[in-house]
Amino acid sequence: MSKQTIIKSSLIVIVAIFIGGCATNLPMTSSLNDFFMMGTKVNSSENISFQYTSNITDGLLKPFEQDKAKEVSGHPGFNHTQSATLGRMLNEFLENKFSKISPNGSTTITAVLKDFWIEQYSTDSGGKVALAVLVGGEINMMCIAKVKILLTINRNGEELTKIISVSSEDTYVSGIGTGTSTSNIYRGKNSLEHTHAKNINKANNKVIMMMNSYFEELGL
């Protein structure tokens, strides 16, 4: 790891202390993309059963640095409900996609949430971050959400599997001292927590869109 990266990481921890030392809640939503849902073809002939499980436990989530290099040191983390939220979204999608869905369906669809994480890191130089911490200013950050699921379909005696891995990203501007008045919050934009939550929702919707594309490829 370069010296500049270490300096930036240390200063981001200081920024986290400025923002608050306790884990905060991510305001996650289970909203499905309206345009996608309106354009989804309904399958009224296939008898489907669906099961969802998760390897991820809802609760405390520590953000990672760029490319999941390591957890952001000293960050208090966020409280999340990704397992439950994605489960609700998948159930709503499948209930609208398939007219015949029951525990006894002849075609079984299983989705497993294999991995989920978020990243946040500064896109500014170490010098600019240091100056903002010392005298006030803005720090530009990148926020990323990544979701990976394993999809398994048993149909007509054949088992098919597919890994779906997606991501979503957005920028966030954090203000310290004199930079607070020009930061994202004071510009009327969303907080860091809302930025992460929006990314997660977009990533979850991408998962569902890719599932639907795979269903159509299989004639489901």
For the chain, what is the mean pLDDT? 87
Question: Domain of 169: which CATH number?
Answer: 3.40.50.10610
CA distance 43 to 210: 17
Domain span at residue 209 reads: 3-217
Is 136 or 154 the better-scoring residue by pLDDT? 154
- Range 159-174 burial, b when 16+ CB lie within 10 A, else e: eeeeebebebebebbb
Chain centroid, CA 72 distance in Å: 17
Q: What is the pLDDT of residues 103-129, one digit of tens each?
A: 999 999 999 999 999 999 988 767 767
Chain centroid, CA 52 distance in Å: 18
Q: What is the bridge-based pairing of β-strands 78-80 and 59-61?
A: antiparallel
Q: What is the pLDDT of residues 85-103, one digit of tens each?
A: 999 999 999 999 999 999 9
Helix axes 126-135, 3-19, angle to 10 degrees: 30
Say what the pTM is.
Answer: 0.86
- For residue 151, CA distances in Å to 6, 109, 112, 209 come to 38, 7, 7, 13
pLDDT score of 119: 97
Number of compact structural domains in the chain: 1
Q: Look-up: residue for tokens 């399958």?
A: 43
pLDDT score of 139: 82
- For residue 137, CA distances in Å to 166, 177, 194 come to 33, 6, 21
Q: What is the pLDDT of residues 154-200, one digit of tens each?
A: 999 999 999 999 999 999 887 776 656 666 666 556 789 999 999 99
Per-residue pLDDT averaged across 24-33, rounded? 95
